[in-house]
C-alpha cells in the first residue's frame, strides 16, 4: 500500500508537466519551407546572391539561344560546345558585361565577368556566366536593381530571375532558389527591396532556418528520438535469461524523473557538440565530404541507436553515440549553409544562428517526447513500445539507405510526407496512444522490469 500511494502521489505532478508541455507546443509555430523553383527547359536562368559587399549574378543560357542572341553582335560566332565558348570567351564576356547592370541606391556598381563555363542545365548544353558587382566603398546600400537587357536580343524568350540568398535581408531558403521575376522583351529590370537588411534580420532568418531544418529533417529527429528511448533506463549486467544480451548488458532498471531529464540533457548536449564542430568546419570550407556517404552514415547512426535501444551496446552508450554521430549529422546540416553562398562574415553568423535554431527545435522535440517516455517506463508496456519503435527506426533507416543507393525515394517517404503535412494531428494521435497505454496498463509491481518481457 505505501508503494502504491507513492506512485499515485507522483502522477498529478507528472500530469502537470505533460499538460504544460502540450500547451507550450501549441504555442510554437514552425514555418514551412518556401516553395522550390527552377527555370523551365529552354529558358534562361539568372541567379542572384546578395552579400553585404557584393552581388553575384550567374546567367545560365542554352547554347542554341545564345547563338541566336549573339549572331548579330559577334559575327560568325556559333556557340555549340565548351571549345567554341573558350574561343569566343573575350567577346562573350564583353557581351554580358554590357547587358548586365547591377545598381544600389548610390548608382551602378562596377561589374566583373569571371571565367565562363559550360554545363548541361535542364538537359540542355548551356553557357554559365558568373558575374560579380561590387560597390566602390565596399558596402551595398539600400535597394538592389538588376537590369538584364540581353533578353532584348531574343524576342519572346523568357528569362527567369531567382534569388539564391540575401542573408542580411532575411532571405535564406533551403533548397532551390526562389523565382522573383520573369523578364521578357522590354521588361528587363527587377528590384530587390532591402529596407530591413541588417545582421539582426540575417541572424533571425537563419535561426528560423535551423528550426525548419529539424522540423522537416525526419532522419535527424528519428535519431534523437531513438536515443531518448533509453534515457529513462539504466544498463546493468545481464543475469539469467538476459546473459545473451549484447556485451553482457541489459536494460533492467529505470531512472527517476529528474535523473531521466538530466540524461536527456546530456544526450542533447553531446549531439550539439558533435554537430556544431562539423557544421562550422564544413560551412567555412575548411573540410568537405561527399554528400552520399554522409547521408548513408546518418541512416547508419539511426540503426546503431535502434540496436542500442533494444539491448545496450555499452553503458551510457547513447551519450557517446550522440557525440560521435553528431559529427556526421553536422556535416549533413552544413549543406544548407553552403547552398546560401555567403561570404566569410555572414557564414560565421549564419552558422551561429542556424545552430541556435537547431538547438531550439531539438529542445522542443525532447520536451514533447520525454514526458511520455517517463510515464510509460512505469508500465510493463514500455518494453514493447521501446523495442517496437527501435525496430521501426532500423527498418526506416534501411529503407533510406536503399533509396540513397538507388538514387530514389525511400518506400517510406509517403509516411513521412503525411506526418510532415499534419504534424499536430500526428502528435495528437501519439499523445492519445501514450495516454491510453498509461491508463489501461497495470502499474508494475516491485518485481517488474522495464527490460524485454519474458
Task: State the average pLDDT over residues 438-452.
Answer: 58
Indicate if 169 and 279 belong to the same structural domain: no
Instruction: Give mean pLDDT, residues 17-45.
Output: 49
- Please indicate, yes or no, whether residues 379 and 266 belong to a single structural domain of this protein: yes
52 in the same domain as 19: no
pLDDT of 433 reads 86
| In a domain? residue 314 | yes
Do 114 and 225 fall within a single domain? no
23 and 52 both lie in a single domain: no
Domain boundary among 138, 170, 196: 196
pLDDT at 408: 85
pLDDT interval class at 70 (50, 70, 90)? confident
Let me know whether 14 and 118 are in one domain.
no
**pLDDT score for 318:** 92
Co-location of 275 and 366 in the same domain: yes
- How much is the pTM? 0.76
Grid cell digits, residue 281: 568546419
More confident residue, 257 or 239: 257
Q: Do 306 and 368 share a domain, yes or no?
A: yes
By CB neighbour count within 10 A (0-12 exposed, 13-18 middle, 19+ buried), where does 154 fall? middle
- Asked, for residue 451, whether it belongs to a domain, the answer is no
Residues 275 and 326 in one domain: yes
Domain hosting 288: range is 2-30+202-234+241-440
Per-residue pLDDT at 37 exceeds 50: no
Position of cell 539600400?
142
Q: What does DSSP say about strands 144-148 and 189-192: parallel, antiparallel, or unpaired?
A: antiparallel
62 and 177 both lie in a single domain: yes
Give the three-class secondary structure for 252: strand
**Cα–Cα separations (whole angstroms), residue 115 to 23, 86, 92, 129:** 56, 10, 11, 7
Q: Is the dihedral of CA 136, 140, 145, 146 positive or negative?
A: positive
Report residue 246: phi and psi, to 5°. -55, 130
Between CA 223 and CA 213 the distance in angstroms is 14
Claim to verify: residue 24 and residue 53 sit in the same structural domain: no
Q: Is the pLDDT of residue 123 over 50?
A: yes
pLDDT in tens, 259-304: 999 999 999 999 999 999 999 999 998 999 999 999 999 999 999 9
Q: Total domain count for the chain?
A: 2
- On whether the CB atoms of residues 300 and 391 are closer than 8 A, the answer is no
The residue from 166, 196, 226 where one domain ends is: 196
In the predicted model, is pLDDT for residue 251 greater than 50? Answer: yes
Q: How far apart are CA 144 and CA 190, in angstroms?
A: 9
Residue 34 pLDDT exceeds 70: no
By mean pLDDT, which of 99-108, 175-184, 223-232, 347-356 is the weakest?
175-184
Which three-class secondary structure state does DSSP give residue 120? Answer: strand
Higher pLDDT, 228 or 380: 228
Mean pLDDT of the chain: 83
Amino acid at each position: 500500500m505505501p508503494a502504491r500511494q507513492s506512485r499515485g502521489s507522483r502522477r498529478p505532478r507528472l500530469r502537470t508537466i505533460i499538460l504544460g508541455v502540450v500547451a507550450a507546443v501549441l504555442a510554437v509555430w514552425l514555418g514551412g519551407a518556401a516553395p522550390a523553383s527552377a527555370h523551365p527547359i529552354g529558358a534562361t536562368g539568372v541567379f542572384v546572391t546578395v552579400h553585404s559587399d557584393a552581388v553575384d549574378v550567374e546567367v545560365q543560357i542554352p547554347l542554341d539561344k545564345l547563338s541566336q542572341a549573339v549572331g548579330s553582335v559577334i559575327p560568325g560566332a556559333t556557340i555549340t560546345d565548351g571549345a567554341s565558348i573558350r574561343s569566343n570567351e573575350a567577346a562573350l564576356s564583353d557581351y554580358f558585361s554590357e547587358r548586365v547592370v547591377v545598381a544600389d541606391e548610390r548608382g551602378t556598381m562596377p561589374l566583373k565577368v569571371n571565367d565562363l563555363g559550360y554545363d548541361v542545365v535542364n538537359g540542355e548544353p548551356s553557357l554559365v556566366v558568373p558575374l560579380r558587382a561590387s560597390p566602390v566603398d565596399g558596402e551595398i546600400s539600400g535597394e538592389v536593381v538588376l537590369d538584364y537587357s540581353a533578353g532584348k536580343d531574343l524576342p519572346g524568350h523568357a528569362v527567369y530571375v531567382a534569388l539564391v540568398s540575401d542573408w542580411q535581408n532575411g532571405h535564406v531558403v533551403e533548397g532551390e532558389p526562389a523565382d522573383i521575376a520573369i523578364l521578357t522583351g522590354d521588361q528587363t529590370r527587377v528590384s530587390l527591396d532591402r529596407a530591413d537588411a541588417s545582421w539582426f534580420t540575417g541572424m533571425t532568418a537563419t535561426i528560423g532556418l535551423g528550426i525548419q531544418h529539424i522540423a522537416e529533417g525526419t532522419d535527424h529527429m528519428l535519431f534523437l528520438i531513438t536515443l531518448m528511448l533509453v534515457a529513462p533506463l539504466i544498463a546493468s549486467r545481464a543475469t539469467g535469461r538476459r546473459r545473451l544480451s549484447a556485451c553482457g548488458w541489459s536494460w533492467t532498471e529505470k531512472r527517476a524523473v529528474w535523473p531521466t531529464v538530466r540524461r536527456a540533457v546530456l544526450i542533447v548536449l553531446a549531439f550539439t557538440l558533435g554537430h556544431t564542430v562539423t557544421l562550422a568546419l564544413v560551412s567555412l570550407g575548411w573540410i568537405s565530404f561527399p554528400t552520399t556517404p554522409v547521408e548513408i552514415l546518418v541512416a547508419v547512426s539511426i540503426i546503431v541507436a535502434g540496436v542500442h535501444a533494444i539491448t545496450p551496446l555499452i553503458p551510457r552508450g547513447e551519450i557517446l553515440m550522440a557525440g560521435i554521430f553528431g559529427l556526421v549529422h553536422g556535416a549533413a546540416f552544413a549543406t544548407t549553409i553552403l547552398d546560401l553562398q555567403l561570404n566569410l562574415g555572414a557564414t560565421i553568423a549564419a552558422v551561429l544562428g542556424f545552430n541556435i535554431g537547431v538547438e531550439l527545435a531539438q529542445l522542443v522535440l525532447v520536451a514533447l517526447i520525454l514526458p511520455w517516455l517517463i510515464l510509460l517506463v512505469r508500465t510493463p508496456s514500455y518494453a514493447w513500445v521501446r523495442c517496437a519503435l527501435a525496430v521501426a527506426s532500423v527498418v526506416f533507416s534501411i529503407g533510406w539507405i536503399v533509396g540513397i543507393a538507388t538514387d530514389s525515394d525511400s518506400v517510406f517517404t509517403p509516411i513521412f510526407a503525411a506526418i510532415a503535412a499534419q504534424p499536430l494531428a500526428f502528435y495528437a494521435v501519439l499523445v492519445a496512444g501514450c495516454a491510453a497505454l498509461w491508463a489501461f496498463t497495470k502499474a508494475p509491481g516491485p518485481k517488474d522490469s522495464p527490460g524485454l518481457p519474458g
